[in-house]
């Protein structure tokens, strides 16, 4: 079953614009992670936010977490054509070691 659900399912923006992607989940989490998948490739970890954190930055990425709303957002600033990919949120619940992925968001950045 899907724990995380991303929104929107697809996003198309112009290079240089910011991209915001949202993720909602259903049960309490230990941490939430965002991954990127380029076409035909494996997933690559982008950023992890713990349940007691509210915001985290990594380069052009900013992730927020609102545990009261059970939601997270990933912001990519100053997007580039190379950011075109699918983005997945994934949650870890309790002491469980496994990740539960959403269905992903397809981001297209037009040059």
Partner 1 sequence: DAGVIQSPRHEVTEMGQEVTLRCKPISGHDYLFWYRQTMMRGLELLIYFNNNVPIDDSGMPEDRFSAKMPNASFSTLKIQPSEPRDSAVYFCASRASGAYNEQFFGPGTRLTVL
Which one of the spans 19-27, 61-69, 77-85, 96-104 is the region binding partner 1 (CB under 8 A)?
Answer: 96-104
10-18, 30-38, 58-66, 68-76 -> range binding partner 1 (CB under 8 A): 30-38
DSSP 52: T
Q: Is 21 in the site for partner 1 (CB under 8 A)?
A: no
> Residue 41 CB: number of other CB atoms within 10 A?
10
For the CB of residue 76, give the shortest distance to partner 1 in the complex, in Å: 18
| Residue 48 contacts partner 1 per CB under 8 A | yes
59 scored as a contact of partner 1 (CB under 8 A): no
Q: Which of 24, 30, 67, 108 binds partner 1 (CB under 8 A)?
A: 30
Based on its alpha-carbon atoms, the radius of gyration of the chain, rounded to whole angstroms, reads 13
User: Residue 20: how many CB atoms within 10 A of its CB?
Assistant: 16
CB burial class (10 A; 0-12, 13-18, 19+) of residue 56?
A: middle
Contact assessment for residue 61 and residue 76, using Cβ atoms and an 8 Å cutoff: yes
Residue with Cβ nearer partner 1 (42 or 111): 42
23, 72 in Cβ contact below 8 A? yes
Could you list the residues that contact partner 1 (CB under 8 A)?
2, 30-31, 33, 41-45, 48, 50, 88, 92, 95, 97-104
């Amino acid at each position: 079953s899907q724990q995380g659900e991303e929104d929107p399912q697809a996003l198309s923006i112009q290079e240089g614009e910011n991209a915001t992607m949202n993720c909602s989940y259903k049960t309490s989490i230990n941490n939430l992670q965002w991954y990127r998948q380029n076409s035909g490739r494996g997933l690559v970890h982008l950023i992890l936010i713990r349940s007691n954190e509210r915001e985290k930055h990594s380069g052009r990425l900013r992730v927020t977490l609102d545990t009261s709303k059970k939601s997270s957002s990933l912001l990519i600033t100053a997007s580039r054509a190379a950011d075109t990919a699918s983005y997945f949120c994934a949650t870890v619940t309790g002491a469980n070691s496994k990740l539960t992925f959403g269905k992903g968001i397809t981001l297209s950045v037009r040059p």
